[in-house]
Amino acid sequence: MSKITALSFFISIVVVSFCQGQQTLTGTIASKDDQIVCKPITVEQMKRMEILEPIVFKQYEKVIELPDAMEYVFADSKKYASILLEFMTIERDCCPSTTMSLKFEPSSSKVSLILGGSQKLKERYKP
């Protein structure tokens, strides 16, 4: 194997994305049937998601199942809002077909992250 081929192979491996729990080396994974599009993200984004995902998917107060989405409710908006927004920004790069929103409840310190947009996307975000 030449040095250039080995370097190209190494670069391809470094670009691995873990969107949807699947590893993708390059390009886009798309399916009209399940309405999920998955794109590679940068190594820096992957490292950041390794920190953010356990917070988002384990530190919530409760989960509410909506017709086409999952709502993760967090107790302290001051603590979690910026974390959730950062998660959404990276997730948007990886999975542009996902509908995402932050909801601040009136007269409450709670904040919710809503993820979904279709039944297949809802299933992806179920705990």
What's the pLDDT tens digit per position in 70-115? 999 999 999 999 999 999 999 999 989 899 999 998 999 999 999 9
Q: Identify the bridge partners of residue 69 per DSSP, sorted by sequence position.
A: 116
Give me the chain's average pLDDT, please: 79
Cα–Cα distances in angstroms (integers) from residue 25 to residues 20, 28, 97, 107, in the given order: 13, 9, 19, 46
Q: Nearest CA to 70 among 83, 80, 56? A: 56
Residue 38's pLDDT band, with cuts at 50, 70 and 90, is confident
Domain count of the fold of the chain? 1
pLDDT of residue 108: 94
Distance CA 41, CA 97 (A): 15
Higher local confidence (pLDDT), 117 or 23: 117
**Mean pLDDT confidence for 43-72:** 96
Q: Is the pLDDT of residue 14 over 80?
A: no
Q: Domain containing 96: what range?
A: 3-124
Q: Is the pLDDT of residue 19 over 90?
A: no
